[in-house]
Structure 1
Amino acid sequence: MSNTFRTSSYHWRNRYLLMRHGHSQANEQGLIISSPERGLNAFGLSALGEQQLLETVEDWQWTTPTRVVHSDFLRTTQTAERVASAFGLTLEKEQRLRERYFGELDGQADRYYPDVWALDAQDADHQQYQVEAVSRVAARLCAVIEGLEQQCSGETVLVVSHGDPLQILLTALANKPLTQHREQAALLPASITRLGG
């Protein structure tokens, strides 16, 4: 699955391939796994996710990455490893790319996501259920991209993160209200969205 995303007038110094992790055990079990305590060492890729990564790497349709930066959760680390090994690259862990924290709903059924998203649509700063505010997620992911833009030029950076954070990032980069992040096209497991030239 491939998308191309263009921000209004910004001239990117690098290309970015924003990748959602492959189908995970959390997806398979219908669970919200958003805390480091649950996500760093468990709930990695499912068998379907492993197959998705195998197919993605075998049929690579994007510019060859020169760097791989990833969330340190197990599912994102495994996703990044599959791509990095195919291109002989080393991994760069980045905690700011972690999953959005869903507070009291962490470890609960994923049927609660729409409840949080409905609140997001009203207020990007809300912290109902002790969830991480959309505005905070946007700030930390934008900081990663801004940092990469300052550090290097002419690179193709594969950024491996999670569905909600990436949709929030894309909304922020498009200069749209963060309350509209769920209006952003859904990012499927193992999908890649290209930023820049």
Structure 2
Amino acid sequence: MSSTLQGSLYHWRNRYLLMRHGHSQANERGLIISSPERGLEAFGLSDTGQRQLDDRIAHWTWPRPTKVVHSDFLRTTHTAQRVAEAFGLSMAVDTRLRERGFGEFEGGADSAYPTVWEQDAASAEHDTGGVEPVSRVAARMREAIEALEQRYTGEVILVVSHGDPLQILLTALAGRPLTRHREQPALLPASITEWG
């Protein structure tokens, strides 16, 4: 699955391939894994995720990446590694690309996501139950992209992150209210969205 979005009010210096990590062991078990304590060393790609990446790489239809930047969670690191190896690239970590913090829902069932998203639709500032506010996620994700824009010109940069942060980023880049981030088409595991 992929889509192409264009920033209409800004001339981007680089092209971006925004990639959600492949299907993970957390996805497989139906768990929310959003804390570095759990996500950095465990819950990497599932067998399904490995197959998804094999398929993405074998049938690559996007521009060839020249840089790879990723969240340091294990599932995003594994995803970035597979693509970087396929194209002979090195990788760089940016912790601003990490999963959104889900507070008290950490380690619990992913059936709690709709509860959080319902609150997101009411306020981009809510931090109910220790959830990281949408506004804060948007700010750190934009900072990560802006840093790449300042550092590089003319590159095709693969940015490997997580579902919620990428949907929030795409909503921010499109200039839409952050409370509407769930109206953004769902980013499936291993999906790639072009920007710029």
How big is the shift at 1:6? 1.4
Question: After the TM superposition, which residues 27-176 of structure 1 pair with which residues of structure 2 at under 5 Å, given as runs?
Answer: 27-176=27-176
CA distance in 2, matches of 1:2, 1:142: 21
How big is the shift at 1:5? 1.0
Aligned to 1:184: 184
How big is the shift at 1:78? 0.1
Amino acid at match of 1:134: V
Residue deviations 1:76-102 (CA, integer Å, cap 9, x gap): 000000000000001101100000000
How big is the shift at 1:7? 2.1
Residue deviations 1:96-124 (CA, integer Å, cap 9, x gap): 00000000000000000000000000000
What's the C-alpha RMSD, in Å, of the aligned pairs?
A: 0.5
- 3-state SS, counterpart of residue 118 of structure 1: helix
- 3-state SS, counterpart of residue 129 of structure 2: helix
Amino acid at match of 1:51: R
CA distance in 2, matches of 1:189, 1:10: 28
Task: Tell me the TM-score normalized by structure 2.
Answer: 0.99
- Large movers: runs of 4+ above 4 Å: none
Residue deviations 1:29-71 (CA, integer Å, cap 9, x gap): 0000000001000000000000000010111101110000000
How big is the shift at 1:9? 2.2
How big is the shift at 1:19? 0.1
- 3-state SS, counterpart of residue 69 of structure 2: strand
CA distance in 2, matches of 1:68, 1:76: 11
CA distance in 1, matches of 2:8, 2:122: 25
How big is the shift at 1:154? 0.1
- 3-state SS, counterpart of residue 31 of structure 1: coil
**Which one is further off, 93-102 or 5-14?**
5-14
Residue deviations 1:137-159 (CA, integer Å, cap 9, x gap): 00000001111111110000000
- The share of aligned pairs that are identical, in percent, is 68
Task: Tell me the TM-score normalized by structure 1.
Answer: 0.99
Q: May I ask how many residue pairs the two structures share in their alignment?
A: 196
5+ residue gaps, structure 2:
none
How big is the shift at 1:195? 0.3
CA distance in 2, matches of 1:114, 1:6: 28
CA distance in 2, matches of 1:10, 1:109: 39
Residue deviations 1:116-135 (CA, integer Å, cap 9, x gap): 00000000000001000000
How big is the shift at 1:74? 0.2
Aligned to 2:9: 9
